[in-house]
């Protein structure tokens, strides 16, 4: 029998309205089959474990990610797939982080959540949970998993975890993938786009990673950006990595102070990764003068990466103890399907 482990970290999905007080309270996922009897219709073995206490995903951090990696790696052999219930706010960061921390993954890790608590009538949580479990347990005829990677199931979309972005604070259709096709669409049937799913490797051995380095910043350019503030930030000695959100295809104002500050930072061993502020498309620094100037400062391309994937990739690579040169090299490699080269 297929075995699925449900990991409840917190977030709206796990809440119900206390009939006495009207307040939203956390639901006991250890009793998930009592609360959602529909799950019994699956012919599978379902266990659950809960973060104690459950957390709003705004409080997610690398310590919680490594807790998730520990739960998945400790239970890896006993289960065919994992469903992680998570608040929507930072779900794309967690999915991206897990895609790097779970090296050699060859089983499904499906994150899901909801906009409306599971214990309320119009919840989207039940449908999301049921579809996530179905995807985590789906196999090919030869018994290999359908989706052997970290992904997010939300509404009708299955998205590679490190390609997802939360795009709506109130729509049920809350996540999008701008630069990579959907892995599946949940309609009457679950329609898998098999050619876009990472291939299953029967010889892969899970190598969990637990360290993330958080000496990073994300900063966005805007017209009129102040030299003194940017220089102070870039000159901060403990800063190791910067995600620079530039204009269009990777362009920045042609100011000498900016080029000088970026050059100083890269020469002192900081890794600066250029990603676009546009929701879709890729950085091509060679396209305009304003991008070529950035290239000459030592800034590297983040290609078509999301903010979530690029920052967690930097955290992961520095967390591995790599030198800035090694980090720069790895940022140019596709580690878990996060960039298109």
Rounded alpha-carbon distances, angstroms, from residue 62 to 69, 98, 156, 244, 322: 10, 10, 29, 21, 18
DSSP state of 246: E
- CB nearest ligand ASP: which residue? 87
Q: To 10 degrees, the CA torsion angle through 261, 264, 266, 269?
A: -140
Q: What is the dihedral of CA 212, 214, 215, 216, to 10 degrees?
A: 110
Of the pair 87, 161, the CB lying nearest ligand ASP is at 87
DSSP 46-102: EEEEE-SS---GGG--HHHHHHHHHHHHHTTTT-SEEEEE--STTHHHHHHHHHHHE
CA–CA gap between residue 101 and residue 92 (Å, rounded): 14
Minimal distance in Å, beta carbon 180 to ligand ASP? 23
Measured between its terminal Cα atoms, the distance across the chain in Å is: 40
Minimum distance, C-beta of residue 12 to ligand ASP, in the bound complex (Å): 3
- Close Cβ partners of 156 (under 8 Å, ≥ 6 residues apart): 173, 185, 186, 187
Q: Is 12 a catalytic residue?
A: yes
- Cβ proximity to ligand ASP: between 304 and 308 the closer is 308
Least distance between ligand ASP and beta carbon 174 (Å)? 8
Interface contacts to ligand ASP, rule CB under 6 A: 10-12, 56-58, 87-89, 113, 115
Q: Which uninterrupted H or E stretch holds 241?
A: strand 241-246
User: Is the Cβ of residue 11 or residue 319 nearer to ligand ASP in the bound state?
Assistant: 11
How wide is the angle at C-alpha 282 spanned by C-alphas 302 and 96, nearest 5°?
50
H helix or E strand, kind and range, residue 294: helix 289-295
Rounded to a whole number of angstroms, the minimum distance from the CB of residue 166 to ligand ASP is 9
Least Å distance between CB 117 and ligand ASP? 9
Nearest residue (CB) to ligand ASP, 88 versus 305: 88
**Smallest gap, in angstroms, from Cβ of residue 153 to ligand ASP?**
14
Q: In what order do the strands lie in the sheet with 216-220?
A: 216-220, 241-246, 271-276, 300-301
Residue 321 has, within 13 A of its CA and on its CB side, a CA count of 2
Of the residues 2, 12, 88, 165, only one is catalytic, namely 12
Which residue, 25 or 235, has its beta carbon nearer to ligand ASP?
Answer: 25
Nearer to ligand ASP (CB atom), residue 114 or residue 282: 114
User: Using an 8 Å Cβ cutoff, are 172 and 133 in contact?
Assistant: no
Residues with catalytic function: 12
């Amino acid at each position: 029998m297929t075995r699925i482990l449900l990991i409840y970290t917190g977030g709206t999905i796990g809440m119900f309205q206390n009939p006495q007080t009207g307040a939203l309270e956390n639901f006991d996922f250890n009793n998930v089959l009592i609360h959602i009897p529909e799950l019994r219709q699956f012919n599978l073995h379902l266990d659950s474990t809960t973060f104690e206490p459950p957390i709003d995903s705004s409080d997610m951090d690398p310590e919680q990610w490594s807790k998730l990696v520990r739960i998945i790696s400790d239970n890896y052999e006993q289960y065919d797939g994992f469903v992680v219930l998570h608040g929507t706010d930072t779900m794309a960061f967690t999915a991206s982080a897990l895609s790097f921390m779970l090296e050699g993954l060859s089983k499904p890790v499906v994150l899901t959540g909801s906009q409306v608590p599971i214990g309320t009538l119009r919840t989207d949580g039940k449908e999301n949970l049921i579809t996530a479990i179905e995807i985590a347990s789906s196999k090919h005829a030869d018994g290999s998993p359908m989706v052997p990677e970290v992904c997010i199931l939300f509404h009708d979309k299955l998205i590679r975890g490190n390609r997802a972005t939360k795009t709506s604070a109130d729509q049920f259709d809350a996540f999008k993938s701008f630069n990579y096709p959907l892995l599946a669409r949940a309609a009457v049937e679950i329609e898998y786009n098999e050619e876009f799913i990472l291939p299953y490797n029967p010889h892969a051995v899970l190598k969990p990673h637990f360290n993330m380095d958080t000496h990073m910043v994300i900063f966005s350019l805007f017209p009129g950006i102040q030299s003194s503030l940017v220089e102070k930030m870039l000159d901060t000695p403990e800063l190791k990595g910067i995600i620079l959100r530039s204009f269009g295809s990777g362009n920045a104002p042609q100011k000498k102070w900016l080029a000088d500050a970026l050059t100083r930072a890269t020469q002192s061993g900081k890794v600066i990764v250029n990603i676009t502020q546009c929701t879709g498309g890729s950085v091509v620094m060679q396209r305009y003068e304003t991008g070529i100037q950035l290239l000459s400062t030592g800034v590297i391309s983040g290609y078509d990466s999301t903010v979530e994937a690029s920052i967690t990739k930097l955290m992961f690579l520095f967390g591995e103890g790599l030198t800035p040169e090694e980090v720069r090299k790895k940022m140019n490699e596709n580690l878990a399907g996060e960039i298109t080269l």
